[in-house]
A and B are shown apart, each in its own frame.
Chain A
Amino acid sequence: MGASTSTRFGARSSRVLLFLGLAIVAFLSIFPLVWMVNFSLLKSGDFFGSNVLKWPDPFQWVNYKNAFTLGHVHAYLLNSVIVAVVVITVTVIVSLMLSYVIARMDWKWNVYLSGLVMVCLIVPIYSTLLPNFFIFNKIHLIDNYFSLILPNIAFLIPLSVFIFIGFLQTTPRAIEEAAVIDGLSLIGVVFRIIMPISKPVIASVGVLAFLNTWNEFIMAITYISSDNYKTLPFSLIQFTGQYASNYGAQFAVMTLIALPLVVLYMLFTDRITNSLTAGAVKG
């Protein structure tokens, strides 16, 4: 990489331009977040100075304390974790089963089945907000974990199925056939053979499901009204309504929500990159 110094592109001036361009994009990507973290450590009065960034003096850790107490971060965080864990688990299992039929089994309706999944990929989740609100209301599913968990899973299935199918099509059937001859049932094949060998893809689907569920908020604010089931986004919404003037704590909440994801991303960059590109790059 970069060994070809003889090409014109490698000239010093174009290298400077190259790095300048990339540096500007990197700066634009990251600087708003630096600004956000900076504000989370300032006194509310310090916002209005003329500096672009101001050194926090002293650091206003009290903003973070307020974030936790006023924003209910810990309670809502727990709810987000509960919803995410259930969604990820069920999505992986259900999608894997469905994909196995489409990719492997001799069934004349498979074409229609995958067509159905394809159509679901196009339906925007927001167009089901109102009817689901109505349905959940009728069957008393509104305002509990299920009103978040069930539609989240349903909308994650199509993409997950396509990722699984892509993987299954590249894996040979030999092991499965051997296992069946040895007397394993088909359910056994799916869970004891396919599941272990598709670990990397399961990780991809899991990451995708996690990010989607973690970041989902429109269903949450539509279906959830009681404090017991509120998820993380409500911590932030709390501050844009009730405590609108407490900017310091608001920025602290934002930092608290954003930072774990950023750290997680830095730790597992390659895994996450693979996950997010799995569906779209293979085409």
Chain B
Amino acid sequence: MNKLWMDKRNIALLIAPGLVFILGFVLLPTAVALYLSFTNFDGVDYQTFNLSNYKDIFLHDPIFWRALRNSIFLGLALVVLQHPFAVLMAMLTTYAGKWERPLRVIIFIPAIISTFVTSQMWVSLLNVQFGLVNRMLTAVGLSSWKQDWLGNPDIAIYSIIFVAMWQGFGYAYLLYYAGIKGVPSELKEAAIVDGATKWRYNKSIVLPLLSPIIRINLVLAVVSGFKQMETVFLMTGGGPANSTQFLGTYLYSKAFRDGLFGYGNAISVLFIVFCLVMTLIMNRLLKKDVGEF
């Protein structure tokens, strides 16, 4: 209709800055990572250009696979434990009357605080000597359950997963809460008139209406489990004995601790590939569940 909306110069002007950022700081580094992943770059120089990094990762690096397994494990934990619980709590909150708002605010507070604060806080809470967790166990007579929560290689990963869930719970909860609040009130009134119990109303009306939101959030949950880095980086740095290594922390320690820049970049590339694949799989898996409303 109007030439202004088709004018090439206008288009170029409007998209140029955005494209510069995306190309320069997301796609260019990705391309550079791909290039360096074929070298033995050590931060200064490189001599070779071959597939040896990838060969080493796939054939001789159990820690990489452990990092990948931990990433998947966290994603699954979020899907199986955190999200169903978040949906339930969000539903219950809508029946809390005058407590509804305060509850919503309180439950979200952990998510608003920086990871670098909450991680450090949990390091202290899980401290062997003065940590609250061990002290609580003593207080309720379970001192035999006391643990070195972050120092024991068999247990540290569960502690990390717990903290990641604690940190992210408020956000998951809030998304579902907002979704439930978006359900048209006529539906609720109609359900009440028809004599549906609250249980029935939530199960047969709210939950189906919520399913697009659930779908998106499960995709996000798996991908965020996959992308996990901050909490681990600050709490254990991947230790003890690499038991809490994730892809993000592993590429970091390979590059900056061991000076294996090329190897680190190869992990970066695989990291991106796995995130893409994971997103595609999740989208595909969940697409079928959504009915029509």
Measured CB to CB, the residues of A under 8 A from B are: 1-2, 4, 7-10, 18-19, 21-22, 25-26, 28-30, 32-33, 35-36, 39, 47-48, 50, 52, 93-95, 97-98, 100-101, 104-107, 113, 116-117, 119-120, 122-132, 134-135, 150-151, 153-155, 157-158, 161, 177, 180, 185-187, 189-190, 211, 214-215, 217-218, 222, 232-233, 236-237, 240, 247, 250-251, 254, 257-258, 261-262, 265-266, 269, 272-273, 276-277, 280-281, 283
Bound-complex Cα distance A161 to B116 (A):
27
Task: Out of B22, B178, B252, name the residue touching A126 (CB < 8 Å).
Answer: B252
Taking a contact as CB atoms under 8 Å apart, the answer to whether B5 and A105 are in contact is yes
Decide if B187 is an interface residue (CB 8 Å cutoff): no
Taking a contact as CB atoms under 8 Å apart, the answer to whether B15 and A135 are in contact is no
Which parts of B1-25 form the interface with A (CB within 8 Å)? 1-2, 4-7, 10-11, 13-15, 17-19, 21-22, 24-25
Decide: A187 near B92, CB < 8 A? Known: A122-B276, A150-B25: no
Bound-complex Cα distance A237 to B251 (A):
21
Taking a contact as CB atoms under 8 Å apart, the answer to whether B21 and A150 are in contact is yes
Residue of B nearest to A234 (CB): B116
Taking a contact as CB atoms under 8 Å apart, the answer to whether A97 and B175 are in contact is no
B100-112 interface bits toward A, Cβ cutoff 8 Å, 1 = contact, 0 = none: 1101111111101
Taking a contact as CB atoms under 8 Å apart, the answer to whether A107 and B36 are in contact is no
Residues of A within 8 A of B145 (CB): none
Measured CB to CB, the residues of B under 8 A from A are: 1-2, 4-7, 10-11, 13-15, 17-19, 21-22, 24-30, 32-33, 36, 41, 43, 89, 92-97, 99-101, 103-110, 112-118, 120-122, 124-125, 129-130, 132, 135-136, 138-139, 166, 169-171, 174-175, 178-179, 182, 192, 196-199, 212-213, 215-217, 220, 223, 226-227, 229-230, 233, 247-248, 251-252, 255-256, 261, 264-265, 268-269, 271-272, 275-276, 279
Taking a contact as CB atoms under 8 Å apart, the answer to whether A29 and B169 are in contact is yes
Taking a contact as CB atoms under 8 Å apart, the answer to whether B96 and A215 are in contact is no
Question: Can you pick out 28 interface pairs between chain A and chain B where the beta carbons lie within 8 Å of each other?
Answer: A1-B94, A18-B92, A19-B96, A22-B89, A26-B107, A29-B169, A32-B118, A33-B109, A94-B18, A98-B17, A98-B19, A101-B15, A106-B5, A122-B276, A123-B272, A123-B275, A126-B251, A129-B268, A130-B261, A131-B30, A154-B21, A177-B2, A222-B252, A240-B120, A258-B117, A265-B109, A280-B213, A280-B220
Residues of A within 8 A of B269 (CB): 127
Taking a contact as CB atoms under 8 Å apart, the answer to whether B25 and A132 are in contact is yes
Residues of B within 8 A of A52 (CB): 132, 135-136, 139
Given pairs A134-B43, A273-B174, 14 additional interface contacts (CB within 8 A): A21-B89, A26-B103, A52-B135, A98-B19, A123-B30, A124-B275, A127-B30, A127-B272, A127-B275, A132-B29, A187-B14, A258-B113, A281-B178, A283-B212
Taking a contact as CB atoms under 8 Å apart, the answer to whether A100 and B14 are in contact is yes
Bound-complex Cα distance A106 to B8 (A):
10
Taking a contact as CB atoms under 8 Å apart, the answer to whether A122 and B30 are in contact is no
Residue of B nearest to A95 (CB): B18
Interface centre among B18, B104, B121, B248 (most CB of A within 10 A): B18
Residue of B nearest to A98 (CB): B18
Taking a contact as CB atoms under 8 Å apart, the answer to whether A122 and B95 are in contact is no
Taking a contact as CB atoms under 8 Å apart, the answer to whether B138 and A50 are in contact is yes
Residues of A within 8 A of B136 (CB): 52
Report the minimal beta-carbon distance from A283 to chain B, rounded to whole angstroms: 4
Task: Out of A2, A29, A189, name the residue touching B170 (CB < 8 Å).
Answer: A29
Residues of B within 8 A of A217 (CB): 114-116, 230
Decide: A130 near B268, CB < 8 A? Known: A29-B109, A98-B14, A180-B2: yes
Taking a contact as CB atoms under 8 Å apart, the answer to whether B28 and A135 are in contact is yes
Taking a contact as CB atoms under 8 Å apart, the answer to whether B275 and A122 are in contact is yes
Report the minimal beta-carbon distance from A55 to chain B, rounded to whole angstroms: 16
Residues of B within 8 A of A153 (CB): 21, 25
Decide: A9 near B212, CB < 8 A? Known: A26-B106, A127-B269, A180-B2: no
Bound-complex Cα distance A39 to B132 (A):
11
Residue of B nearest to A261 (CB): B112
Residues of B within 8 A of A240 (CB): 120
Report the minimal beta-carbon distance from A132 to chain B, rounded to whole angstroms: 5
Residue of B nearest to A99 (CB): B18
Report the minimal beta-carbon distance from A253 to chain B, rounded to whole angstroms: 9
Interface centre among A32, A47, A211, A265 (most CB of B within 10 A): A32
Taking a contact as CB atoms under 8 Å apart, the answer to whether B227 and A281 are in contact is no
Taking a contact as CB atoms under 8 Å apart, the answer to whether A187 and B10 are in contact is yes
Residue of A nearest to B224 (CB): A124
Decide: A134 near B275, CB < 8 A? Known: A25-B89, A50-B135: no
Report the minimal beta-carbon distance from B221 to chain A, rounded to whole angstroms: 11
Taking a contact as CB atoms under 8 Å apart, the answer to whether B22 and A117 are in contact is yes
Decide: A130 near B175, CB < 8 A? Known: A135-B29, A154-B24: no
Taking a contact as CB atoms under 8 Å apart, the answer to whether A113 and B89 are in contact is no
